[in-house]
Amino acid sequence: MTNLILSGCNGKMGQVITRLAEADSDICIVCGCDINTSVINSYPVYDDINKFEGKADAIIDFSHPSCFDNIVSYCKKTKTPLVMATTGLSDEQIESLDDLSKEVAVFRSANMSIGINLLITLVKQAAVLLEDKFDIEIIEKHHNLKIDAPSGTALMIADEISESLCNKPEYVYDRHSMRKKREKKEIGLHAVRGGTIVGEHNVLFAGNDEILEIKHTATSKEVFAEGSLRAAKFLNGRCAGMYNMKNLIELN
């Protein structure tokens, strides 16, 4: 059994996790945390995680970067493992997660779906083989309520490609502001926002007279919720360190 604190419990992801957890006999949400306390849940909800006096095996955070300091200090104080799913974190916040991982187990992934993690493996292979001849562009699409752009997943894909290339690429986000030809070393990142699109990531390799596209589409938020619950179970009782989906797939 994994006893869970759910941060951002009254948001869209929090409510999907709440529903899935109710049907999962290995998960018990012991409390939620959200600045919006108006939703009735089967567990107590606090506007500040530090008001919770019980104990948990892990925290899942799907909230907002403004919640970050509170969550990290709670994890440090109580030595509770953390699944960090919130995107749009600053470089400074990512560094403090690395610091936290020296004391407790931390799982971070900008995309908790298994499919996206397979896409990353495939695009890294393609990038290595096509590096000199093909231009790489990443196009992501999300619903019209998403605030950060490009998505954390698009950046994660770009970072993974960058790591596998000999010549480090330069990320280009806005071609509107410059009038010049595309350079070979670029990776273009493009954000589309509209309607209720759950999440689509398309990595395009454009060469001379041929185009390869590797694409992942999430059709419901459940894929992220299920992945985060698997991550919380994976962290339960695990020693300090930084973990991701690749570790979950390999070590499980």
Ligand X SMILES: NC(=O)c1ccc[n+]([C@@H]2O[C@H](COP(=O)([O-])OP(=O)(O)OC[C@H]3O[C@@H](n4cnc5c(N)ncnc54)[C@H](O)[C@@H]3O)[C@@H](O)[C@H]2O)c1
Which residues are near ligand X by CB under 6 A?
8, 10-14, 33-36, 62-64, 66-67, 85-88, 109-112, 224
- Residue 201 catalytic? no
- Residue 216 catalytic? no
CA-angle at 99, arms to 146 and 147, nearest 5°: 5
C-beta closer to ligand X: residue 116 or 203: 116
Least distance to ligand X, CB of residue 71, Å: 9
The C-alpha atoms of residue 218 and residue 199 are separated, in whole angstroms, by 5
Order of strands, sheet of 211-218, starting from the edge strand that comes earlier in the sequence: 170-172, 186-193, 135-142, 199-206, 211-218
Least distance to ligand X, CB of residue 249, Å: 15
List Cα–Cα distances, 95 to 91, 101, 242, in angstroms: 6, 10, 12
C-beta closer to ligand X: residue 205 or 216: 216
Least distance to ligand X, CB of residue 79, Å: 21
C-beta closer to ligand X: residue 30 or 212: 30
Give me the catalytic one of 142, 201, 216, 233. Answer: 142
C-beta closer to ligand X: residue 156 or 187: 156
Least distance to ligand X, CB of residue 112, Å: 4
C-beta closer to ligand X: residue 115 or 241: 115
Cα–chain center distance at 164: 20
Through-space distance between the first and last CA atoms of the chain, rounded to whole angstroms: 16
Least distance to ligand X, CB of residue 36, Å: 4
User: Pairing mode, if any, of strands 211-218 and 199-206?
Assistant: antiparallel
Burial of 251 (0-12, 13-18, 19+ CB in 10 A): exposed
Give me the catalytic one of 64, 76, 124, 146. Answer: 146
Instruction: With beta carbons less than 8 A apart as the criterion, state whether 41 and 9 touch.
Output: yes
Active site members: 142, 146
